[in-house]
Structure 1
Amino acid sequence: MSQVVKPGDVLHTQNQQSVTLGSVLGEGGEGSVFKTNTPYVAKVYKPEKTTTHRLAKLQALLRMGLACPGICLPKALLYNSKNEFVGYLMEKAEGVKLRNLYIKPLLKKKFPHWRKRDLVELGINILLRIGYLHSKGIILGDINPDNILVRTSKEVYFVDCDSYQVDGYPCAVGIIPFTAPELQKKETYSSYLRTIGNENFAVAVLLFSLMVTGQMPYNQKGGETSQGNIINMDFSYPLGKKSNKKTPNGPWRFLWSHLPKYLKEAFYETFSKGGKYSTESTRLSALEWHKKLNSYLGLLDTGKMGEQDKMSEEIYPTRFKKQMGATYVKCPRCGEDVDKSHLCKEGICMECQRKMWLCHQLKKRASRIPVRRTSQSVSRSFFSCLFH
């Protein structure tokens, strides 16, 4: 492509339909997305991004005649007045990036009334779209929360679909947390073709990050880097007595605790070395995960999930799930229901005890470091916020 396009320019499709570019909706490393005088929007590449490889992949996608609401695949190629390939028309995507929902304040601001069933329903609708693409022989490759936009729990959009792996054309991009262990040491994403087994690892990571909202399966306290943990398949969330004792501190332990047992088992067997679903050939498919989430949604909608503990219906539980047969009392410090057998000798819960110990350690450390008065005030505020 010899020239940069701008609002007001007139392009044409391969069928000579005229398309007038409107205002810019968004810009990225590859190019820009424009409004048009059609029901679709136009993705127009920067001149250096209009490679023959990209054109061939888009032509392959078009030949497949795919159509699925929310998957923003190319509808028609676009050319300039010199008949040079510049981009394509696609469905307009709406909503917020899935990654934004990983941050509690942003999720609460955008969807203030959402409960756990809404996240589960969202996961189901994401899986339906992934399953559709897999059924057509397409591998997404770059599954990550920046490429999925969420409008409602039922209405989601997949963007950057021109990167998908199709007809022997690899997906040239990806990110480490969603890359399968067997691919972690390969050179570049463009140097090989992914298998459906590779992809199923990324699908499981995406679902885990939704169910344990905002957390990745191989994050842990101490230990290796995230990439090292993936390669070693060192999963830090327990299944019964099986645990590496490295579960990150904070709310993640509570979110994991409130998941149904069969779902925790599926994640554990997928992410743990030697697990039943841990290899390229044995990982659960999008369809199999879809069935599991459908069952989860049924438990939530019928109230069965809440029979044992109503907090299991919330996105952000503030304690571990109640166990059948246990006696619960309120902790005098945090006010949470706590298994009576888990109270420390002072009568407060273990979580408060942990926070008190941490606060004590921080105070000891601070007392050894000369600080200005304003810094001491900040430190006191920090210590006090541990209990609010």
Structure 2
Amino acid sequence: MTERKKQKVLIDAGVLLEHPDIIRSIREKQNWPVLLAEALTTLMERRSHPTVQGHHAERVLGQIEGSKASAIERFPAGDSLQAGDHLAEFRYDGAPAFLFKRLRFTEQAAAGRVIEVARDYGMTVVTRDDQVVSLAAKANVVCYKWPLVEKSRTSPKDNFPPVGSKEPDPFKPHKIPLSSADVRLVVKVFPCANENVVTSAGRQVRLGKKLSEGGEGVIYETSSQELVCKIYHPDKLTSLKRKKIELMVTRKIDRAGICWPTDLVFNQYAEFIGYLMPRAQGKTMQGAMFVKPVLLKTFPTWQRVDLVNLCLAFLEQLRYLHSLNILVGDINPQNLLVTQDSEKLWLVDTDSFRIEAFPCPVGTVNFTAPEIQGKGYESFLRSTQHELFAVATMLFMILFPGKPPYSQQGGGSPAENIKNKKFPYRDASDKENFSGENAPHGSWAVIWNHLSKDIQAAFHRSFSRDERLTLEEWIELLKRYRFAIRKNWRSNEIFPSSYFFIHDPVEVICGRCNTKTTASQKYALAQAKKGMKVWCQDCFKQNRLKRMAEESYKEGLEAEKKHLGRPAPIPQIPRAPVVPHPASPPHTTCAAAPSRPMRTTAHVSKQAAANRPTAQAQTATPRAATPPTQRANPQPRATPVPGGRSPIVAPSRARLGAASKPTLMAKGRRLLRRLWLAIFFN
């Protein structure tokens, strides 16, 4: 049986504006998508339009510009170019597509030029133009009218366009992990680059260069451009791994963005060594997005709406998997790949997914729910609730690029913060318990201020109240948030420049430090009418801090004046009277007692009155405002008791003054709270 010949499919500009994903669909059917250079003019005209077609045009052109198209001399099938024709290859969603340009056409009309190129190179045409369909029929060119309800021209035994396949059957739900022993497999030979492996059907597949290597195995290119091969390390190859891959390949999951195993591979001795899977595109989210300079360099055109698109793409992939009773388990940014198209997302390392009785044996602390922190991942089956906690964490780290939700100032370890549900961000409905004082420094609190109120509430439900949202609830919330951004009701900046969203931003010069800043146009005009200038946020914060410091200093002076420079009087605690033992003679230990004689309370009062200075003396020689230096941890003084009994320990001055400490601490807390509110929330 001969292999079907790949077709070159020429896509009209009208189809691209309606359905840009047709490029990917053609690639999935093993055909070559081709665009005419003349179509780029139409796309560029629609690019700036605030419509769906404008968004699609921006998407196609962004992929062409971002992938840096390169000229090639012939089509992949080997067809050489005619004189005056040029061909360039670019990447669309990471896969190759082609851009064709002809310098001199015989036909003058746009429809005639499409048919002319298709006829000369034996291309199939997809169009929305009835004139192109009519000309294709006359020129004996295979042509399809979009939308693809029926074929405009009959073509025998033609597999294009793609026909939707039946959805696979869901896996059976299980509650208890597999109990059988996991035995290590002994393998004689592990193939490497430029060697062959064999599929279950006996087909030979040649390994190409090594793409990457992880803790479990090595990923190789193959002789098929759409597939890669994972070869396990010798110490990771076990009997349960083989059983799990055998179970996975019973479901043909053919969904873009999910690297699902398609076939087992064996060495020359028919020993299991790995599997084939679709080739993923893009870069890991961890490496491309979670450091601010790298994010801005890798995706220079991205805005906040792209982060929301990425969240929705992630949720859609998980919703599809959950419908088949598949849990990802090890959700983390290393297993997610992103491209220039923010609406596309790839999931890799699918062999660790939780399927039927096979647990997900790996995980990370930040994405582990509080109730399973510290447990061995391979010892139990994760539930949907466990997955929803990891989903909320992943959404948070996309919207706050790279920042875990429980990261905070002065907190404990990540595991402790998660167990204690210490979510540090402000909750407007519960400022007493969630004031935001422990939120991490930098731009994170600012990003939080720019989120919509329902998104803030959703994160608090997930991280501080254990009320985890479903995928459908998250999708609905994020779609509303995206709508608000597109309507300019919310900021579209990835890292906002102002503490709160400004609906009418205008660039002004700070009246204090002369730097450029963004302010509300309405506020700037109001300040100008008053003869005042706008300050930047930094200057405003510094001024508020200065005012708070001055107020604190004045309060200190008033307190000092009230007490004449002396600390507040310490309340006296009455002592129990010391009664000498009548029957016991003086003990020798009394001789070793301090030389200070014992004094009664009356004696002490008289002497204190005698030593108290007069009002004139106090006026002439005021005491210092600073209290005398006290010893750290002063030891209580022991009072000797006649008769050899245990001495009475008098309470120290530090203990007597302890009653005033709560008042001072309360004042300190109130001052810190006023400073915090003045800096960030006034």
With the length of structure 2 as denominator, give the TM-score of the two structures. Answer: 0.47
The secondary structure found in structure 1 opposite 2:273 is: strand
Residue 86 of structure 1 corresponds to which residue in structure 2? 273
The question of 1:262 aligning with 2:448 is answered no
How far residue 286 of structure 1 moved from its aligned partner, in angstroms, is: 2.0
The question of 1:349 aligning with 2:537 is answered no
Select the residue among 214, 225, 232 that pairs with 1:28.
214
Measure, in 1, the Cα distance between the counterparts of 2:258 and 2:272: 22
Measure, in 1, the Cα distance between the counterparts of 2:501 and 2:350: 43
Measure, in 1, the Cα distance between the counterparts of 2:246 and 2:298: 37
Measure, in 2, the Cα distance between the counterparts of 1:337 and 1:11: 61
The question of 1:288 aligning with 2:473 is answered yes
The question of 1:11 aligning with 2:197 is answered yes
Is residue 60–residue 167 contact of structure 1 (8 Å, CA) maintained in 2? no
The secondary structure found in structure 2 opposite 1:32 is: strand
Residue 495 of structure 2 corresponds to which residue in structure 1? 316
Is residue 236–residue 246 contact of structure 1 (8 Å, CA) maintained in 2? yes
Residue 209 of structure 1 corresponds to which residue in structure 2? 397
How far residue 338 of structure 1 moved from its aligned partner, in angstroms, is: 7.2
Whichever residue aligns with residue 266 of structure 1, its letter is A
Residue 42 of structure 2 corresponds to which residue in structure 1? none
The secondary structure found in structure 1 opposite 2:442 is: coil
How far residue 74 of structure 1 moved from its aligned partner, in angstroms, is: 0.2
Select the residue among 145, 152, 170 that pairs with 2:359.
170
**CA gap 1:113/1:84 in 2 versus in 1, 3 angstroms:** same
> What per-residue deviation string (whole Å, max 9, x for no partner) do you get for residues 160-183 of structure 1?
110001011000000000000001
Is residue 93–residue 159 contact of structure 1 (8 Å, CA) maintained in 2? yes
Whichever residue aligns with residue 294 of structure 1, its letter is K
How far residue 239 of structure 1 moved from its aligned partner, in angstroms, is: 1.5
Measure, in 2, the Cα distance between the counterparts of 1:9 and 1:40: 16
How far residue 263 of structure 1 moved from its aligned partner, in angstroms, is: 0.4
Question: Structure 1 stretch 263-272 or stretch 47-56: which is displaced more?
Answer: 47-56
Superposed CA RMSD in Å reads 2.7
Is residue 461–residue 468 contact of structure 2 (8 Å, CA) maintained in 1? no
How far residue 285 of structure 1 moved from its aligned partner, in angstroms, is: 1.8
Please show how residues 89-238 of structure 1 align to structure 2 within 5 Å. 89-100=276-287, 101-151=289-339, 152-186=341-375, 188-238=376-426
> What per-residue deviation string (whole Å, max 9, x for no partner) do you get for residues 18-57 of structure 1?
1111111111121111111123111111122221111111
Please show how residues 58-69 of structure 1 align to structure 2 within 5 Å. 58-69=245-256
Please show how residues 50-65 of structure 1 align to structure 2 within 5 Å. 50-65=237-252
How far residue 99 of structure 1 moved from its aligned partner, in angstroms, is: 1.2
Is residue 244–residue 358 contact of structure 2 (8 Å, CA) maintained in 1? yes
Residue 377 of structure 1 corresponds to which residue in structure 2? none
Measure, in 2, the Cα distance between the counterparts of 1:49 and 1:61: 18
How far residue 303 of structure 1 moved from its aligned partner, in angstroms, is: 2.5
How far residue 336 of structure 1 moved from its aligned partner, in angstroms, is: 4.0
The secondary structure found in structure 1 opposite 2:198 is: strand
**CA gap 1:66/1:122 in 2 versus in 1, 3 angstroms:** same
Whichever residue aligns with residue 495 of structure 2, its letter is Y
Structure 1: gaps of 5 or more residues: 306-311, 358-388
Measure, in 2, the Cα distance between the counterparts of 1:201 and 1:54: 27
How far residue 76 of structure 1 moved from its aligned partner, in angstroms, is: 0.6
Identity of aligned residues (%): 36
Residue 360 of structure 1 corresponds to which residue in structure 2? none
Residue 252 of structure 1 corresponds to which residue in structure 2? 444
Whichever residue aligns with residue 174 of structure 1, its letter is G
Measure, in 2, the Cα distance between the counterparts of 1:211 and 1:261: 14
How far residue 215 of structure 1 moved from its aligned partner, in angstroms, is: 0.8
Measure, in 2, the Cα distance between the counterparts of 1:268 and 1:222: 20
The question of 1:304 aligning with 2:483 is answered no
Is residue 191–residue 197 contact of structure 2 (8 Å, CA) maintained in 1? no
**CA gap 1:261/1:13 in 2 versus in 1, 3 angstroms:** same
How far residue 323 of structure 1 moved from its aligned partner, in angstroms, is: 7.8
**CA gap 1:144/1:354 in 2 versus in 1, 3 angstroms:** farther
With the length of structure 1 as denominator, give the TM-score of the two structures. Answer: 0.81
The secondary structure found in structure 2 opposite 1:146 is: helix
Is residue 405–residue 423 contact of structure 2 (8 Å, CA) maintained in 1? yes
> What per-residue deviation string (whole Å, max 9, x for no partner) do you get for residues 89-124 of structure 1?
111112111113011111111110111001111111
Task: From the CA coordinates, give the structure whose radius of gyration is larger.
Answer: 2
Is residue 77–residue 89 contact of structure 1 (8 Å, CA) maintained in 2? yes
Whichever residue aligns with residue 142 of structure 1, its letter is D
Is residue 497–residue 518 contact of structure 2 (8 Å, CA) maintained in 1? no
**CA gap 1:338/1:261 in 2 versus in 1, 3 angstroms:** same
